């Protein structure tokens, strides 16, 4: 009886191990975000920001996904795309050097869907950390993308395709975040400019402009950067109106709270002029 009991225990233990392994390798459809880049190819399921998986890199489907990522991701590094794929997660495999910090390895059997991140598939509000917009004017097109860099800074990338089809990418780091971007030809030279409207975090929500000439990819400066107007405390709204850049903001009186300005609104119209060393946006007098 004793030996029979021992054999039963051993068999039960083996079955539990097999069941555990089978569960870890159970095929299912996974939905979530995929990120690919230098030493990174990770997947995180919708609704689970604490768990991420290394995408197996020794199968054909994984290579396909890498190619798809290049065509769908934003210009900024390590931005996610939305995917649905059929596969298995194996948490029992010995991790490679790059995969050792993940919760397992996801082996792809079939890619069901792959899309650029949008409001329709953004299941975990990832778009709050990103901006992406494509613009076109007078035969020139550009794509503006940005992502959080750390703290209150964002990494911005602008890909420009000129009238001859030549492409170039311009990158920088800005303080604050982009709320919108537009192309305009304020100086009417048939070479549009790129205007990114930027807001700083915090209760003041102070606005600024990040602007480039599409012809030279050189900076366009707002002069002065802070309006010389009594009662100005931020909350700027930038727009392109006809051949001007406009800036509208509330006026605060001495005892006004941040949420309740009582001094009405002020609008400034800026025109684009050629300065000694660069293009300038100056108030129209």
Mean pLDDT of 235-262: 94
Q: Find residue 245's DSSP bridge partners.
A: 240, 270
Enumerate the domain spans of the chain.
Answer: 24-115, 130-283
193: its two tokens: 């400019």
| 199 burial via Cβ count (<10 Å: 0-12, 13-18, 19+) | buried
Top-ranked range on mean pLDDT: pick from 58-67, 126-135, 148-157, 248-257 = 248-257
252: its two tokens: 């605060």
Q: What stretch of H or E contains 147?
A: strand 140-150
24-115 belongs to CATH 2.40.50:
yes
Q: Which of 108, 133, 135, 102 is CA-nearest to residue 118?
A: 133
Q: How many Cβ atoms are within 10 Å of 59's Cβ, its own excluded?
A: 14
Note the pTM of the prediction, 2 decimals. Answer: 0.67
Q: What single DSSP character describes residue 128?
A: G
231: its two tokens: 């009662």
pLDDT on residue 206 = 92
Mean pLDDT of 109-118: 90
pLDDT(22) > 50: no
Residue 133: CB partners within 8 Å, gap ≥ 6? 143, 144, 180, 181
pLDDT-derived band at 141, boundaries 50, 70, 90 = very high
Considering only 8-12, 159-163, 165-169, 230-234, which range has the smallest mean pLDDT?
8-12
Dist. CA 63–CA 28, nearest whole Å:
20
* Phi/psi at 69 (5° precision): -60, -45
pLDDT-derived band at 23, boundaries 50, 70, 90 = very low
Q: How many Cβ atoms are within 10 Å of 276's Cβ, its own excluded?
A: 5
pLDDT(20) > 60: no
The string of pLDDT tens digits covering residues 153-211 is: 888 999 999 999 999 988 898 888 898 999 999 999 999 999 999 988 777 789 999 99
Mean pLDDT of 252-280: 94
The string of pLDDT tens digits covering residues 31-56 is: 999 999 888 889 999 988 788 898 87
CB 181 within 8 A of CB 164: no
125 phi-psi bin (left φ>0, alpha ψ -120 to 50, beta other): left
Task: Report the DSSP pairing between strands 265-274 and 279-283.
Answer: antiparallel
pLDDT on residue 149 = 66
pLDDT on residue 259 = 87
CB 117 within 8 A of CB 34: no
Q: Find residue 209's DSSP bridge partners.
A: 197
The string of pLDDT tens digits covering residues 55-96 is: 875 678 888 898 999 888 877 778 889 999 999 988 765 556
pLDDT on residue 24 = 46
pLDDT on residue 138 = 93
pLDDT on residue 25 = 64
CB 63 within 8 A of CB 36: no
């Amino acid at each position: 009886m004793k030996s029979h009991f021992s054999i039963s225990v051993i068999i039960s233990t083996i079955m539990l191990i097999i069941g555990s392994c089978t569960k870890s390798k159970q095929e299912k459809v996974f939905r979530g975000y995929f990120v690919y880049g230098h030493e990174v190819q990770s997947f995180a399921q919708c609704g689970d920001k604490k768990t991420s998986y290394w995408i197996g890199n020794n199968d054909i489907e994984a290579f396909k996904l890498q190619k798809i990522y290049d065509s769908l991701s934003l210009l900024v590094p390590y931005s996610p795309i939305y995917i649905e794929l059929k596969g298995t997660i194996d948490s029992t495999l010995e991790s490679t050097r790059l995969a050792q910090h993940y919760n397992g390895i996801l082996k792809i059997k079939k890619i069901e869907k792959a899309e650029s991140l949008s409001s329709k598939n953004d299941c975990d509000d990832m778009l709050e950390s990103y901006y992406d917009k494509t613009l076109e004017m007078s035969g020139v097109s550009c794509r503006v993308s940005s992502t959080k860099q750390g703290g209150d800074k964002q990494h911005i990338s602008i890909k420009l395709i000129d009238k001859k089809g030549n492409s170039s990418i311009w990158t920088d780091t800005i303080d604050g975040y982009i709320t919108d971007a537009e192309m305009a030809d304020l100086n009417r030279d048939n070479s549009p400019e790129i205007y990114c409207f930027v807001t700083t975090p915090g209760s003041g929500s102070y606005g600024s402009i990040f602007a480039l000439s599409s012809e030279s990819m050189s900076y366009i400066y707002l002069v002065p950067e802070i309006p010389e107007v009594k009662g100005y405390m931020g909350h700027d709204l930038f727009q392109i109106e006809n051949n001007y850049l406009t800036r509208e903001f509330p006026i605060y009186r001495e005892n006004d709270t941040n949420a309740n300005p009582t001094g009405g609104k002020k609008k400034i119209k800026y025109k684009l002029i050629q300065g000694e060393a660069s293009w300038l946006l100056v108030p129209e007098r």
